[in-house]
Chains A and B, each alone.
Chain A
Amino acid sequence: MSILVLADLHEGQLAGATAHVVAAAQAIGGDIDVLVAGEGVQAAAEAAAKLDGVSKVRVADNAVYAHQLAEPMGALLAELADGYTHVLASASTTGKNVLPRLAALKDVSQLSDVIAVDSADTFKRPIYAGNAIATVKSDDVLKVITVRSTGFDAVGTSGSATVEAVDVVVDNSQSSFVKEELAQSDRPELGGAKVVISGGRGMGNGENFKLLDGIADKLGAAIGASRAAVDAGFVPNDMQVGQTGKIVAPDLYIAVGISGAIQHLAGMKDSKVIVAINKDDEAPIFQVADYGLVGDLFEILPELESKL
């Protein structure tokens, strides 16, 4: 077996998800190469070379791969995929954008959001927003897979893979980058945070989300929100945790003023410890919470912040 992992980048740096995807590759077994494609990505390539289990890092550093646009990335992967049995990427917006393109170019199916490896051709993945788990077997010669990072523990960083340049340069006259607006925050990224505190409709308005700031600072937590809070316009969509937002599985998840709709639970129920704070003691969130506290969040949050 021979596996190519597409490295996930965040603002040009290696994203944490890649270490989880390499872990999934180890579960499949075989030689593992990592492809780092972008513009000015030497630092990311060096970081990828340190990931345990990686034999070779292949670097495609060219302006055409800047921002990892789907068209050149798909074409590059299609060039490089021959000789590999599996191509893996994180189920991030980049992986989801690029890998189906590769699969179609190679006339094979793609498996999305894999959470467990049963064997080199059999995998588990959630369907129906995680309300069912499917075991699927692929008989395609090339398996193209996106990996949900919460399903695999990250590999360590004591490796020393070789780094080599890839000189494949493709043309792209169809798509161009215009601009990016990334949320600027000193807090950890929602998808990779060890602690997440989320607010729901019970927060009342966007201003009240500030009540979560102090607690998040003390815990080093990322701040999330339920779909209801996003739909109500309290906070932007990139904070959404749930079936249609981010899937998170931190060590500690604190749900504040969130009732616990199926669609929210789909995004956080794999968290190790769940705390729910809600004034309605019948709220469904309490059925999945390890620790529930019934009461007025406007009294509880300041008290919690001061006592942490």
Chain B
Amino acid sequence: MKVLVAVKRVIDYNVKIRVKADHSDVDLTNVKMAMNPFCEIAVEEAVRLKEKGVATEVVAVTVGPKAAQEQLRTALALGADRAIHIETDERAESLAVAKLLAKVVEEEQPGLVVLGKQAIDTDNNQTGQMLAALTGLPQGTFASEVAVDGDKVHVTREIDGGLQTIALTLPAIVTTDLRLNEPRYAKLPDIMKAKKKPLDVKTPADYGVEVASKVSLLKVESPAERKGGVKVASVDELIDKLKNEAKVL
């Protein structure tokens, strides 16, 4: 079974973001970029499926600017066999990315597609679900456990208040939550080897997909700053303040 894994280049999760002075967007100039953390978990899961003998080939795909090839090389260093880069400098929203991925699914016919549940820049949490709808495939979102069993996959999902397990027919779409696995680090020899693995470059036009979205970003602002309050000296003072000043007790 072939496994397709989608990755996204985003701002490194440790970086404190800055809003541009003209409020047009977040400032990404000279900011450290990395693979989206949920995508790292997706790559790890795909590679583990290969190590278990469930997957025969792992194909990594990304939609983004030329620099996004760095994240594909990371995926290759972590164990993906080959990569597809759909190059665009436009801001590709979830629907456009899902349409492009649907074309790749049509071409590659994977048994399983693994994606991160959301990217930590736009926080949309949409692409996997949209891809499932467009390909007419079932979805197991927010996965904390994935078990392939014959022609089915059992996915345990992190839902509000607990866990839900569902069974899906294959092929299927899975999106990863935090507890699914702990991604490995790429080793230096693997990073060297990854440079020689095949990486195809395509454009949205090759797939006949229009990237432009009907949603426009009007403004980006910093959230209202919360001011620190006072330090209290004792439990008694705390209770007094909560009762008489904040009136929440």
Q: Interface residues, chain A, CB within 8 Å of chain B?
A: 10, 67, 69-71, 74, 92-94, 96-105, 107-113, 122, 126-140, 173-183, 189, 191, 195, 219, 237-238, 243-244, 251-252, 262, 269, 272-275, 281, 286-294, 300, 303-304, 307-308
**Within the complex, what minimum Cβ distance (angstroms) separates A100 from chain B?**
4
Q: Mark B118-147, 1 if CB is under 8 A from A, else 0.
A: 001111111111111110011101101000
Q: How far is the CA of A93 from the CA of B154 in the complex (A)?
A: 18
Cα A1 to Cα B82 in complex, Å, equals 48
The 8 Å CB contact of B242, one of A67, A93, A189, A275, is A275
- Inter-chain contacts of B172 with A (CB < 8 A): 174
User: CB distance A304 to B232 under 8 Å?
Assistant: no
| Cβ–Cβ contact A238 & B138, under 8 A | no
A136-B216, A281-B231 are known contacts. Are A101 and B129 too (CB-CB below 8 A)? Answer: yes
Residues B123 and A112 in contact, CB atoms below 8 Å apart: yes
Contacts of B162 on A, CB cut-off 8 Å?
Answer: 180-183, 238
Interface residue from A69, A70, A92, A110 paired with B126 (Cβ < 8 Å): A110
> Interface-forming stretch among B11-19, B52-60, B62-70, B192-200?
B11-19
CA distance A86 to B42 in the complex (A): 32
- Would you give the shortest CB distance from B193 to chain A, in whole angstroms? 31
Knowing A74-B133, A300-B235, say if A269 contacts B226 (CB, 8 Å): yes
Q: Do B158 and A93 touch (CB < 8 A)? A: yes
How many residue pairs, one in A and one in B, have C-beta atoms under 8 Å apart? 236
Given A100-B94, A133-B222, A137-B218, A173 and B229 contact (CB-CB distance below 8 Å): no
Contact B235 A97 (CB under 8 A): no
| Interchain CB contact under 8 A, A178 and B166 | yes
Which residue of A is nearest B138, CB measured? A174
CA A139 to CA B94, docked complex, whole Å: 16
Assess the A181–B163 pair: CB atoms within 8 A. Answer: yes
B228 contacts partner chain A, Cβ-Cβ < 8 Å? yes
Using Cβ atoms and an 8 Å threshold, which residues of chain B touch A174?
Answer: 137-138, 168-169, 172
In chain A, what residue has the closest Cβ to B241? Answer: A291
For residue B114, give the distance in angstroms from its CB to the closest CB of chain A.
Answer: 16
Do B216 and A137 touch across chains, with their CB atoms under 8 A apart? yes
Whether the Cβ atoms of B120 and A128 lie closer than 8 Å is yes
* Beta-carbon nearest neighbor of B236 in chain A: A307
With a cutoff of 8 Å between Cβ atoms, the chain A residues found around residue B81 in the complex are none
Q: Which residues of A contact B98 (CB under 8 A)?
A: 104
**Interface of A (DSSP majority class):** mixed
Add 18 more A-B contacts to A139-B214, A175-B138, A238-B160 (CB < 8 A).
Answer: A97-B129, A98-B129, A100-B129, A105-B133, A109-B213, A113-B123, A127-B26, A127-B123, A128-B11, A137-B215, A174-B168, A174-B169, A178-B166, A180-B162, A251-B248, A274-B229, A290-B246, A292-B229
Q: B215 to A133, Cβ gap below 8 A?
A: no
Task: Supply 18 A–B pairs (Cβ within 8 Å), ascending by A.
Answer: A100-B127, A101-B139, A103-B126, A105-B133, A109-B215, A136-B216, A136-B218, A176-B166, A180-B165, A181-B163, A189-B160, A191-B160, A244-B178, A262-B16, A291-B231, A292-B228, A292-B230, A308-B239
Residues of B within 8 A of A104 (CB): 95, 98, 129-131, 133-134
Query: CB-nearest residue of chain A relative to B159?
Result: A93
Minimum distance in angstroms from B170 CB to a CB of chain A: 10
Interface string of B215-226 (1 = CB under 8 A from A): 111111111001
- Pick the 3 closest A-B CB pairs, nearest first: A100-B129, A290-B229, A104-B130
Provide the residues of chain B in CB contact with A67, threshold 8 Å: 164
Q: Decide if B238 is an interface residue (CB 8 Å cutoff).
A: yes
Bound-state CA distance A243–B209 (Å) is: 32
Instruction: Give chain B residues whose Cβ lies under 8 Å from the Cβ of A180.
Output: 159, 162-165
A109 surroundings in chain B (CB, below 8 A): 93-95, 213-215
| A110 and B242 in contact, given A93-B159, A133-B222, A272-B248 (Cβ under 8 angstroms) | no
Of the candidates A10, A71, A189, which one forms a contact with B139 in the assembled complex, judged by CB atoms under 8 Å apart? A71
Q: In the bound complex, do residue A139 and residue B164 qualify as a contact, i.e. CB atoms below 8 Å apart?
A: no
B202 within 8 A of A: no
* CA–CA, A39 and B139, complex, Å: 21
Q: How far is the CB of A116 from chain B (nearest CB, A)?
A: 11
Is the CB–CB distance between B235 and A307 below 8 Å?
A: yes
A110-B94, A131-B16 given as contacts; is B166 within 8 A of A177 (CB)? yes
Q: How far is the CB of B69 from chain A (nearest CB, A)?
A: 24
Q: In the complex, how many angstroms separate the beta carbon of B164 from the nearest chain A beta carbon?
A: 5
**Complex contacts, A292 vs chain B, CB 8 Å:** 228-232
- The answer to the question of B189 belonging to the interface, with a C-beta cut-off of 8 Å to chain A, is no
Alpha-carbon gap, A136 to B164, bound state (A): 33
